[in-house]
Every structure is written in C-alpha cells, then in structure tokens.
Amino acid sequence: MSFLKLTDVTKFYGTTRAVSEVNLSVEKGEFVSLLGPSGCGKTTTLQMVAGFEAVSSGRIELDGRDITHAKANTRGLGIVFQTYALFPHMTVADNVSFGLEMRRCPKVERGERVKQALALVHLEAHAARYPRELSGGQRQRVALARALVIEPPVLLLDEPLSNLDAKLREEMQFELRQIQRKVGTTTVMVTHDQSEAMSISDRVVVMEAGRATQIDHPHRVYEHPGSRFISTFVGKANLLPGRIAAGNRVELGTLTVAAEDAGFRPGAAVLFSVRPEKLQLVEAGRGRIDGTVRERFFLGSQWMYAVTTPLGELTVLSPNDGRPALDEGHAAGIDWPDHCARLLPADEQVAA
C-alpha cells in the first residue's frame, strides 16, 4: 500500500485550473521530486498535501487515512520553506525545539531530541547562535533539523536550496539526500532545478500546465522522455521533424535513419530527438551527416558546438579531454548510436 497517495487531486482558483487530476503514489521512505517550470502547479500540489491550500476535488491519503480536508496542524508533516522561516530572536536550539514545545514534549526528552537533530545536520557547536550569525547553508540545515525533530511521517521541501549559491547548492543536494536516507523519512520536494531533482530523487514527477505528465525514475525521465516538453525541459535535446518509414526507420529529409520503436504507424509525423552529448563529431564525410561549426562555447568539462547541417542547426556536447577544440567554420561530420535516438509525437498538446 502506498504511504502517501494523491487521487485525481485538482485545484481551481476561481475558474482557473491550477492543478488538474494529479495521481501520485509515494512509498514509505521514498524521495520524490515535483519538477517543472514556474506556474506548472508543483508548489500548489505540495501546499494541498501540507493542508495550506484546500483541495477542489480529489483525495489525499496518508498511511491509509483520508487527510484531504484535515487542518494543516493536525497532519503532523514536516515542512522546510524556501525562505527557511527561522525565528530571528531564537537561538538555533530554540528554533529546532519549537515544534516539540508545541506538541508539549517533556523538557528532558525535548533537549535530547534537539541534540540528536543538530548532530544529524552537523550543527551541535552552533546551538547557541542566532540565525543572523549563520551562513545560508547553515540556516538551511537548521530548518531541516526543525522539520525532522518532530519525526514527521512525511517531509515536504519547498525549493529548499534555491537561496544558496551554485557551489553550496550542489554540496547541500547530496547532504540533504544523505540525511534523508539516514533518517528514512518519506520526502516530497518541489524544485524547478532539473539537476537537483535528477541527482537526489528516487522518482521524479514532471509537471506541465497543472498536470503530472511523466512519473518515473530520473534516468528514465532523461533517457526516455514522454513528450517534447520533457525532452527539452529535462536537459537539452536536438529535435528534428521526421516521418516514420517501413521497418522502424525514420525519414529526416533525404536522410533515413533507425530509431527506437515508439509504436508509431508508418507515415506518422514525428520528432526525432537526440541529446547533444550523444552526438559525436568526426571527420567530414565519415558521419551520417556533414556540417559546419558555427559557434563554440567553453563549459569547463565540455565544449558546446552549434553545427549548421542540411537538417538544421544541431547542438553537440563534446568532452574537454585535452584535444584541441574545433574552430568556428570547421567542417565536421556528425554521428550517433542508433539506440540513443528517441521518437516523440510531432503535434502534442497539453490541456490547461
């Protein structure tokens, strides 16, 4: 049985449908991320689970109990907000202890649990400090300790790392995942950061226009996107218009290539999708198609090339392996393994 279950959960603001019939089952101890651009409904979905927003229709269950219309303070969930929402006049220890005080936890037990929570996030030495005396990463860990100390059945994270700089954000991603695995708390996180969701989640829920358009393991979401939107939102993709030919072949203009069978009928219009890092630059005349390097960009560990070809402009990512980069204006061939190409519907639409 699913530990947290959403069934046809829908939210209207007046006549505007912000969330449309979301179905999601989260297992106990699982880390699930709601991923999507601004306005896709991910935060509203989290707020309905938390009880901060009323559900227009549908059902939310927690461990077999219907909490659809339960008040937020009766659900017992742990929440970390984007702004952390720490009390500035309280010490770190007092901030962490606050939820236990509200639950009338005995003082001796409360002190021990606060110590354990601070040890979990490596802030034992900062118990007497105030939030203003902490770095962004430390404040984030205090907020996490405050949420975990009450031992919630579900931990809800609302863009918890968005206020951190890039380097600290990457470090905190893995620390957050390590803490979650150690504690084993069922966790649902909202984020618009693809790398964040892909790196630390057991499953990812990609949301678009209020709908959950794909729910899958991170690797499958990336390698087998279910739509044009997902292929370009989760990573980058080269999309070429094509048409299905006989024998699981795809016609791309005058070029006919193989692609993974996606159940399209012969003659169907499709989009041929291949990730930039799956393309290989070879000598002109030795690939499937030739092109000319229009621009190049140095990304540190990679070079990104914009290559003009008869099929259109393709983006190619090549590792920075010490070999000289190709100059702009250089003629090159482009190749790719057949199993790396994906086929997507050419005329997909998502209802609002």
- Give 237-259 pLDDT, tens digit per residue: 999 999 999 767 899 988 999 88
Is the same domain home to 86 and 186?
yes
Query: 350 lies in a domain?
Result: no
Give tens-digit pLDDT for 207-222.
999 999 999 999 999 9
Query: 352 lies in a domain?
Result: no
Give me the domain span that covers residue 275: 236-345
Q: What average pLDDT does range 175-189 have in this prediction?
A: 92
Beta carbons of 218 and 193 less than 8 angstroms apart: no
Q: What average pLDDT does range 213-238 have in this prediction?
A: 95
Is the same domain home to 194 and 243?
no
Is the same domain home to 134 and 12?
yes
Of 160 and 23, the structure prediction assigns the larger pLDDT to: 23
Query: 351 lies in a domain?
Result: no
Last residue within a domain, chosen from 187, 210, 228: 228
Is the same domain home to 278 and 339?
yes
Q: Which residue, 38, 41, 50, is CA-closest to 20?
A: 41
Last residue within a domain, chosen from 159, 194, 228: 228
Look up residue 224 and give its two tokens. 């087998």
Is the same domain home to 202 and 306?
no
The 3-state DSSP class for residue 93 equals helix
Last residue within a domain, chosen from 228, 246, 262: 228
pLDDT score at 260: 75
Alpha carbons within 13 angstroms on the beta-carbon side of residue 229 total 16
Is the same domain home to 104 and 56?
yes
Is the same domain home to 300 and 326?
yes
Is the same domain home to 89 and 132?
yes
Is the same domain home to 48 and 189?
yes
DSSP H/E element including 297: strand 289-298
- Enumerate the β-bridge partners of residue 258: 249
pLDDT score at 248: 73
pLDDT band (50, 70, 90) for residue 236: very high
CA gap 197, 234 in Å, rounded: 10
Is the same domain home to 30 and 144?
yes
Number of domains in the chain: 2
pTM: 0.90
In sequence order, the 6+-apart residues with CB closer than 8 A to the CB of 96 are 114, 117, 118, 142, 145, 146, 149
- On the question of pLDDT at 351 being above 60, the answer is no
What does DSSP say about strands 31-35 and 203-208: parallel, antiparallel, or unpaired? Answer: parallel
Is the same domain home to 49 and 184?
yes
Is the same domain home to 139 and 15?
yes
